[in-house]
Amino acid sequence: MKYNKDTSEKILTAAITVFEEKGFSGTRMQEIADKANINKALLHYYYKSKDKLFEIILIRAIQLLMPKLAMVFNSEDNFFKKIENFVSVYIDILSEHPHIPAFVSHEINTNPKRLLKFIENSGVNITPFIQTIKQEIEKKTIIDIEPEQLIVNTISLCIFPFIAKPIITNIILKDNKKKYTEFIESRKKEVSRFIINAIKN
Amino acid sequence: MKYNKDTSEKILTAAITVFEEKGFSGTRMQEIADKANINKALLHYYYKSKDKLFEIILIRAIQLLMPKLAMVFNSEDNFFKKIENFVSVYIDILSEHPHIPAFVSHEINTNPKRLLKFIENSGVNITPFIQTIKQEIEKKTIIDIEPEQLIVNTISLCIFPFIAKPIITNIILKDNKKKYTEFIESRKKEVSRFIINAIKN
DNA sequence: GTTAAATTTAACCAAACGGTTAAATATGTT
DNA sequence: AACATATTTAACCGTTTGGTTAAATTTAAC
C-alpha cells in the first residue's frame, strides 16, 4: 500500500478549499474528489474518512500558527518590538493560509473540546506572555492593563479581519479605492501601532 | 391556517441553540423539533424549510444589531463618548444574543452574498461613520488613522471575543480566577479605553 | 357539549451521503 | 515486454435527511 505525495497534497488542498466554503457537514466527499480531479474511491484510499481529513487540516493549521507565535515572544527584543513582530508574523501566516480562521471558528462552535485538545497538544503556553506583560507593567513601560485583555485584544485585531473579509471588501471598503489585500498588508504596521499607542505609558 | 405565537418563538429559540452548535448543515430538523418539544411535522407547519428558518434567525440577528449601532453614532455626544457607547451597546447586544457571531461567521464562509444582502437591507451605511472620523482627524482630536482601519479595529475588538469564548475560557483565562462573563463585562470599559488611548492626540 | 383550530401520529418518499468493493485500467520502472 | 503499483470504474450498501400527507387527537373557546 503506497501513496503518491503529490496526490495526497492535492487532496488536502482541495479539501481545504471546499471545507472553507461549505463547512464540514455541508461538504460532500464527492465535491472534494471533483475539486482534486480524482475519484471518490481514491479519496478514501488516501484519507480514511471525512472526519480524519478535516482533523488533519485542523491540526496542521494549529501547528502552523503556534510555534511561530511563541518564538516571537521568546525573543530578546524589547516589548514593543515583540508586539510588532507578533502582529506581523500572525498576519503573514493568516495571509498565506486564509482558511485557518474559517476552520477554527467552525470548530469553536461545533467541536470546542477537540479544538482545545489540539491547541493544548500544540504546546501553547500563554503563561510566559502573561509574565512578560506583568513585568512591563511593573517597569511602567505600559499602563496597567489586565494581561489577558491585552492578549485577547491583540489576537482579535489580527484574526477577525480575516474572518470578516467579505464584509470588509464589500461594505467597509466599498467607497475606498484600497483593495482588501492592501488593507490587510497595511494592518501589519497599523495594528501594532494601535496596540502600542493604546498601552504605552 | 393559524399560528400560536408561543410555539413559533419556541421553535426559533430551539433552532438558534442547535444551529449555533451544529452549524446549518450539521443540524437536523428532527433535532430542532426535539429541542423545542414538538414533532417535525409541526416544525414544517410553522417554518417552511430549514433554509427559511435559518434565514429568519439571521435576519433578526442583523436587525438587532444595526439600528442600535447607527443610533449611537448619530447621537450628539462627543467622539470619544460615541466610541464608549458604541462599544458598550455592541457588547451588550452580543452578551444577550451570543449566537450572533456564530451565525454571522458561518454565513460569511458559506453564503457571503446572502449575508451581504441582508446587511445592506438592514440599512447600514458606514459613510457617516467615516465622515465623523475624518472630521475628528481634521480637528486633531485623534491621530491620523484610516477611518476604515479604525472601524475594523473597533468591530474586531467587540465581536471576536464572543467567537473565541472556549479559547478564552479554557486557555487564556485558565489560570485566572475571573470568569468569562466578568471578563466580557469588563471589556465594555476596557475596549473603549484601549481604542481611545490608541487614537487620541 | 360543540366547534374550531393547533398539534400529533405514523407512515411515506426521493434523494443524498459516507464509505466499500473487486475488477479493470493506466502509469511508472526495470 | 513484464511487473508493480497507483488509479479508476461501476456498482453497491445502509442510513439518514428534509419534507410531505391524511387522519387522529388534543386543546381552547364558547
Q: Distance from A104 to chain B by nearest Cα, in Å?
A: 9
Nucleotide with C1' nearest the B44 CA = D19
Nucleotide with C1' nearest the B7 CA = C6
pLDDT in 10s for each residue of chain B, 201 residues: 577 888 999 999 999 999 999 999 999 999 999 999 999 999 999 999 999 999 999 999 999 988 888 888 888 889 999 999 999 999 999 999 999 999 999 999 999 999 999 998 888 888 989 999 999 999 999 999 999 999 999 999 999 999 999 999 999 998 888 899 999 999 999 999 999 999 998
d(CA B154, CA B16): 26
CA distances to A65, A151, A154, A159, B126 from B152, in Å: 22, 18, 13, 11, 11
**What pLDDT is recorded for position A74?**
84
**What pLDDT is recorded for position B176?**
82
* Contact criterion met (CB < 8 Å) for B146 and A23: no
Any atom of strand D under 7 A from CB of A4?
yes
Any atom of strand D under 7 A from CB of A60?
no
CB atoms within 10 A of CB B21: 16
pLDDT in 10s for each residue of chain A, 201 residues: 577 888 999 999 999 999 999 999 999 999 999 999 999 999 999 999 999 999 999 999 999 988 888 888 888 889 999 999 999 999 999 999 999 999 999 999 999 999 999 998 888 888 989 999 999 999 999 999 999 999 999 999 999 999 999 999 999 998 888 899 999 999 999 999 999 999 998
**What pLDDT is recorded for position A124?**
84
ipTM greater than 0.85: yes
* Contact criterion met (CB < 8 Å) for A23 and B145: no
B 103-132: CB under 8 A from A: 105-106, 108-110, 112, 115-116, 119-120, 124, 126-127, 130
The neighbouring-strand residues paired with B200 are B142
CB atoms within 10 A of CB A48: 9
A 35-94: CB under 8 A from B: none
Any atom of strand C under 7 A from CB of A18?
no
Question: Residue type at A93?
Answer: I
**Domains, chain B, ranges and CATH?**
1-47 (1.10.10.60), 64-199 (1.10.357.10)
d(CA A50, CA A24): 8
Instruction: With beta carbons under 8 A apart, name residues in chain A contacting B145.
Output: 190, 194
**What pLDDT is recorded for position B180?**
95
**What pLDDT is recorded for position B87?**
96
Q: Where are the alpha helices (DSSP H) in A27-111?
A: 29-36, 40-46, 50-73, 79-96, 99-110
Contact by Cβ (8 Å): B4, B88: no
Nearest to B109 among A102, A195, A199 (CB): A102
Question: Residue type at A108?
Answer: I
CA distances to B93, B140, B184, B199 from B192, in Å: 16, 19, 13, 11
Contact by Cβ (8 Å): A23, B109: yes
